[in-house]
């Protein structure tokens, strides 16, 4: 089977300079959803017909192997679009036509459509209570005779509730002849692909129809409102799958998964959380409200408090994160690590049972076991040109308001006094501090504002 994805539409109602098929649904472009579905069918050829937005579409998704790209310029209708792809197709197998702005069609529905098209022509149709705007399926004696577009339909034809979704399976060997006979003498002045149905009937080709399990599978995106509606449909289906798998969701209507979320047993997720890329949550993980987790792994028993960001990081078992914590790429936490409020960790490792409970920045550091990082501590890792590493060995106590000027090492069991700037290595078991004196001046008069 060949698959041709028609993705040349302008999408004027999107009110955007971004090509319609590049607008994101669940974190990836509409066209990417359709391409993933097409690839799951294991076709011989996948061809994308693009137009509006030109190279922006191809640049965004052109790195996908095995996909052929064809430019439709100008855009003269769906029949004209398919004709541009014809030279790319294997004439010995049928061709499935999909649309780049219809992202939620299921693979099993398309497999059924492919079977319906064996030896003939298969149409995916659906019955709507309000079919306005859709091409109607005109039958005689129960058999499909033609498809008539809304603007060309008679009053009686507009009353038909069975409509064309645009998705069809066609005999490729006959396509060149059919497409060459298309006319643009219609209300739109376009070459309708649907006109080949009447040609197939005239030649005695069998027309078989299939309907999806849900109308949602056939819904396209023509406006930001429709995009938002499909986003919620998609997210609700993800939420339902999580619930069926035993995950506790505080509100299934307030979760966004923009990638793949894998959960162990007894996982709970509060409202407003966003999961992007590949995210794994172990058994017993609790995620507080309004957290963002991106391409990360969280081990068993971890609690992530409200309003945390975790990106390209790994969190060890039974650790505690947040609230208001940020784990940046390269953060690797061992078991029972505590990262508290307003703490940022980047490209650093924390050993077992170490903690930075509040108001700290730890970047490009290797921190051992049982280390306490006091409030206000920062690793000064950047000299304006290069990054340098800080090493803090096991059982070190870092007092509040400490600056560690990398590259520097604090030895095992050392203590750093509060307010110290550490720019030299601190030997194991010692106290590191900057000698200071404190004085109290008598007779000091505090400056005061004068009235004007």
Task: Catalogue the active-site residues.
Answer: 358
The DSSP-derived string for 96-155 is: EEEETT-----HHHHHHHHHHTTTSEEEEEEE-SS-TTSPEEEEETTEEEEEE-GGG--H
Give every CB contact of residue 50 below 8 A, 6+ residues apart in sequence: 7, 8, 21, 57, 58, 69, 70, 71, 72, 100
Say how far apart CA 76 and CA 188 lie, in whole Å: 10
C-beta of residue 267 within 8 angstroms of C-beta of residue 247: yes
Q: Which helix (H) or strand (E) holds 176?
A: helix 172-180
**Triad 394, 399, 404: Cα angle to 5°:** 75
Q: Show the beta-strand stretches assigned E in 316-354.
A: 320-321, 326-327, 332-333, 338-346, 349-350
Q: What pairs with residue 321 in β-bridges? A: 304, 339
How many Å separate Cα 251 from the centre of its chain? Answer: 20
Rg (alpha carbons) of the chain, rounded to whole number: 31
């Amino acid at each position: 089977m060949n698959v041709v994805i028609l993705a040349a539409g302008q999408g004027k109602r999107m009110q955007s300079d971004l090509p319609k098929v590049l607008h994101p649904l669940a974190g990836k472009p509409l066209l990417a959803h359709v391409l993933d579905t097409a690839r799951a069918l294991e076709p011989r050829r996948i061809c994308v017909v693009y137009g509006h937005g030109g190279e922006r579409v191809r640049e965004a998704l052109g790195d996908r192997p095995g996909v052929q790209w064809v430019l439709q310029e100008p855009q003269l209708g769906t029949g004209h679009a398919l004709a541009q792809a014809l030279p790319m197709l294997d004439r010995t197998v049928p061709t499935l036509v999909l649309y780049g702005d219809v992202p939620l069609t299921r693979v099993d529905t398309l497999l059924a459509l492919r079977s319906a098209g064996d030896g003939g022509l298969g149409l995916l149709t659906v019955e709507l209570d309000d079919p306005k705007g859709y091409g109607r399926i005109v039958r005689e004696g129960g058999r499909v005779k033609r498809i008539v577009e809304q603007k060309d339909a008679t009053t009686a034809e507009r009353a038909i509730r069975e409509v064309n979704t645009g998705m069809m399976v066609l005999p490729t060997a006959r396509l060149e002849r059919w497409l060459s006979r298309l006319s643009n003498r219609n209300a739109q002045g376009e070459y309708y692909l649907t006109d080949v149905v009447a040609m197939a009937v005239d030649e005695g080709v069998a027309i078989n129809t299939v309907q999806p399990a849900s109308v949602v599978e056939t819904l396209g995106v023509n406006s930001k409102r429709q995009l938002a509606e499909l986003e919620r449909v998609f997210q609700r289906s993800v939420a339902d799958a999580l619930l069926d798998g035993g995950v506790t969701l505080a509100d299934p209507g307030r979760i966004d998964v923009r990638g793949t979320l894998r959960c162990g047993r007894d996982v709970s997720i509060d409202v407003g959380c966003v999961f992007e890329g590949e995210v794994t949550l172990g058994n017993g993980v609790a995620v507080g409200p309004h957290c963002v987790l991106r391409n990360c792994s969280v081990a068993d028993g971890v609690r992530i408090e409200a309003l945390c960001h975790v990106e390209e990081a790994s969190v060890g078992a039974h650790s505690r994160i947040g609230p208001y914590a940020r784990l940046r790429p390269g953060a690797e936490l061992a078991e029972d690590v505590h990262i508290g409020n307003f703490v940022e960790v980047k490209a650093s490792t924390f050993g077992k049972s170490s903690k930075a409970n509040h108001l700290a920045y730890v970047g490009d550091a290797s921190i051992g076991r049982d280390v306490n990082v006091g409030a206000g501590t920062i690793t000064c890792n950047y000299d304006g040109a290069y990054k340098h590493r800080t090493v803090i060995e096991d059982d070190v106590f870092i007092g509040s308001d400490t600056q560690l000027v990398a590259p520097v090492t604090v030895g095992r069991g050392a203590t750093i006094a509060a307010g110290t700037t550490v720019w030299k290595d601190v030997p194991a078991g010692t106290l590191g501090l900057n000698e200071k004196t404190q004085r109290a001046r008598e007779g000091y008069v505090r400056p005061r504002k004068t009235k004007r």
